[in-house]
């Protein structure tokens, strides 16, 4: 449920710093779109022969909302059914898809940073312009920072909480065997994730 918020928040944030841009320059990657100073970044990138970042031609932006939608729906069903095996399967799927997303993003960055137009005005032997997956890096006159944005933080947090819940579940289940308890506890783990993010005020 928490993950629904990820639809309305940017997932990843790439910001650029340069002497000529005291006001900052950046782009935000959402599940289904890219916002920010895309035109300016594309304009600058043409000097080094980078391809234009055109959100319409990035297929991930069409697929991602469905993948996440499926995950959320499956999560709700799993939560409602309260089957532990299903929950384990869901968490594994979630984590795998998360890793796949990261790998895909890295490859996308790699492609943009390396597949350069050989006729570009500025060619520096050995230089590529791949922004980091997470972290900061100097690329010519720009320092590129790449970090998860609000939506990304929520998704990563949700993944970690799910894993923790699974671990907690595993230890807890050694002492309690009744299925009703399991069900209750799975629900509890979902609720705890809300509390964790302060979206629901928990009053004991």
Partner 1 sequence: MKSLKKLIISALTVILVMSAFTYYGCSTKKGSTGPIVGDDAPSKVYVPPGKYDEFYGFFSGGFSGQLAVYGLPTGRLFRVIPVFSQDPEKGYGYSEESKPMLMTSQGFIPWDDAHHPELSMTNGTPDGRWIFINGNNTPRVARIDLKTFRTAEIIEIPNSAGNHSSPFTSENSEYVVAGTRFSVPVGNKDVSIDSYKENFKGVVSFIKVDPSSGKMNIAFQLMTPPYDYDLSHAGKGPSHDWFFFSCYNSEQSNSLMEVNASQKDKDFIMAVNWKKAEEFLAQGKAKDMASTYYHNTYDEGTHTATSEILTSTKILDPKDCPGMIYYMPCPKSPHGVDVDPSGEYIVGGGKLSTVIPVFSFSKMLKAIEEKQIDGEMDGIPVLKYEAVIGGEVQKPGLGPLHTEFDGKGYAYTSMFVSSEVVKWKLGTWEVVDRAPSYYSVGHIMIPGGDSKTPWGKYLFVLNKITKDRFLPTGPELPQSCQLYDISGDKMQLLLDFPTIGEPHYAQAIPADLIMKNSQKTFKLDDNKNAYVTRNEKEARVERKGNEVHVYGTMIRSHFTPDNIEGIKLGDEVYFHLTNLEQDWDIPHGFAVFGNENSELLIMPGETQTIKWIPKNVGVIPFYCTDFCSALHQEMQGYIRVHPKDANVQLTFSTGSKPN
- Applying CB under 8 A, the residues found at the interface with partner 1 are 23, 37, 39-40, 43-44, 47, 121-122
* Closest to partner 1 by CB, 23 or 56: 23
* Closest to partner 1 by CB, 37 or 182: 37
| Least CB distance to partner 1 at residue 144 (A) | 18
| Least CB distance to partner 1 at residue 55 (A) | 16
The DSSP letter of residue 131 is P
Return left, alpha or beta for 140; rule: phi > 0 is left, psi -120 to 50 is alpha, else beta.
Answer: left
Residue whose pair of structure tokens reads 């309690």 in the numeric block: 176
Sign for the CA dihedral angle at 137, 157, 96, 175 comes to positive
Tokens of 197: 């993010």
| Least CB distance to partner 1 at residue 58 (A) | 20
How many angstroms separate the CA atoms of 93 and 182, rounded?
21
| Least CB distance to partner 1 at residue 47 (A) | 7
* Closest to partner 1 by CB, 43 or 135: 43
* Closest to partner 1 by CB, 37 or 185: 37
For residue 184, the surrounding DSSP H or E stretch is: helix 179-196
């Amino acid at each position: 449920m928490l993950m629904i918020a990820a639809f309305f928040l940017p997932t990843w944030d790439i910001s650029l710093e340069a002497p000529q841009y005291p006001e900052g320059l950046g782009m935000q990657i959402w599940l289904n779109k890219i916002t920010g100073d895309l035109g300016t970044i594309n304009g600058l990138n043409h000097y080094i022969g980078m391809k234009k970042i055109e959100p319409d031609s990035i297929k991930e932006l069409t697929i991602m909302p469905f993948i996440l939608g499926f995950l959320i729906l499956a999560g709700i069903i799993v939560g409602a059914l309260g089957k532990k095996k299903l929950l384990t399967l869901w968490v594994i799927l979630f984590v795998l898809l998360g890793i796949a997303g990261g790998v895909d993003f890295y490859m996308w960055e790699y492609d943009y940073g390396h597949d350069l137009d050989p006729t570009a005005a500025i060619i520096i032997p050995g230089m590529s312009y791949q922004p980091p997956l997470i972290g900061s890096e100097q690329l010519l006159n720009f320092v590129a920072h790449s970090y998860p944005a609000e939506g990304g933080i929520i998704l990563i947090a949700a993944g970690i909480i799910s894993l923790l819940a699974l671990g907690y579940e595993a230890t807890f289940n050694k002492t309690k065997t009744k299925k009703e308890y399991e069900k209750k506890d799975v629900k509890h783990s979902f609720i705890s994730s809300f509390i964790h993010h302060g979206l629901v005020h928990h009053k004991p």
